């Protein structure tokens, strides 16, 4: 699968109020590996940049005068980004700005260019409800160094987001991830107990000992006393004990 990790910086918060993109970056990832291919533009927004936005990314209009206009680089971005799945943190924000720029450049809108969008902010909120899920917080959570990120920048943020996204989704590509195929172990052997004829291996069932059953019963009895007879495990009748190991 070809994916692009995308980030933008802007003159403000609202494209409907005439705010513009000033920086755009996209990093290519194929089959969960960065390919080394990327695209990065700083563009002249043809307008002032809000002071609040400058505090975030550090750029003023004077810094960008003389850079190409977005319409001058838009077609190159579309060619690079077409047919890929886009991975964006807070995707509705970036997509709204890109759609606004594409309209001005008379180019197809985002929905006609990408092959789907992953919003890593929405994904993070599902994984970590009630926690801070901005890019800095996610870098800290996954042990990704962001020491160089004193200000926002589209290319650096896309690089960090690529690492965060791969860490967030590690293990979701296959239900059998980390299960080695026969012959993959040292010496060409197979995992202990694994079937080699394509059939399902027989599971080994370990029954509790009499002492473990007694300890389990004591724990349930204590819970039942503390809940005044409302221990759900006992009420459901689910505590029919299996036979003890001999």
Closest CA to 1 of 86, 105, 89, 110: 86
Residue 114 designated active-site: no
Residue in the structure block whose two tokens are 């943190």: 89
Q: Under DSSP, is residue 35 helix (H, G, I), strand (E, B) or coil?
A: strand
Question: In the chain, where do the E strands start and end?
Answer: 2-10, 21-30, 33-42, 85-88, 117-119
- Dmax (CA) for the chain in angstroms is 83
Do 26 and 104 form a contact (C-beta atoms < 8 A)? no
User: Measured in Å, how far apart are the chain's first and last C-alpha atoms?
Assistant: 52
Which one is catalytic: 57, 89, 152, 216?
A: 152
CB atoms within 10 A of CB 229: 8
Sequence-distant (6+) residues with CB within 8 A of 88 are 5, 6, 7, 94, 95, 117, 118, 119, 120, 161
What is the spatial distance between Cα 167 and Cα 156, in angstroms, rounded to a whole number?
A: 17
Catalytic residues: 152
């Amino acid at each position: 699968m070809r994916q692009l990790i995308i980030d933008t910086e802007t003159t403000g918060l609202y494209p409907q109020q005439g705010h513009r993109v000033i920086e755009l970056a996209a990093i290519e990832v194929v089959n969960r590996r960065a390919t080394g291919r990327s695209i990065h533009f700083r563009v002249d927004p043809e307008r002032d940049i809000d002071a609040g936005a400058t505090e975030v990314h550090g750029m003023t209009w004077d810094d960008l005068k003389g850079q190409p206009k977005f319409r001058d680089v838009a077609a190159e971005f579309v060619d690079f980004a077409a047919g890929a799945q886009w991975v964006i943190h807070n995707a509705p924000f970036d997509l709204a700005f890109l759609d606004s720029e594409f309209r001005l450049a008379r180019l197809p809108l985002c929905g006609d260019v990408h092959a789907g969008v992953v919003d890593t902010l929405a994904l993070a909120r599902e994984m970590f409800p009630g926690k801070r899920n901005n890019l800095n917080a996610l870098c800290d959570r996954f042990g990704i160094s962001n020491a160089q990120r004193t200000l926002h920048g589209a290319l650096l943020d896309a690089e960090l987001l690529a690492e965060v996204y791969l860490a967030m989704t590690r293990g979701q590509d296959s239900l059998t991830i980390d299960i080695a195929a026969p012959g993959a172990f040292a010496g060409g052997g197979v995992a202990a107990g694994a079937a080699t004829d394509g059939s399902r291996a027989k599971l080994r069932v370990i029954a509790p000992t009499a002492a473990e059953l007694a300890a389990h019963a004591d724990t349930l009895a204590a819970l039942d006393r503390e809940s005044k007879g409302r221990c759900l495990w006992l009420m459901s009748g689910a505590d029919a004990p299996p036979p003890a190991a001999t």
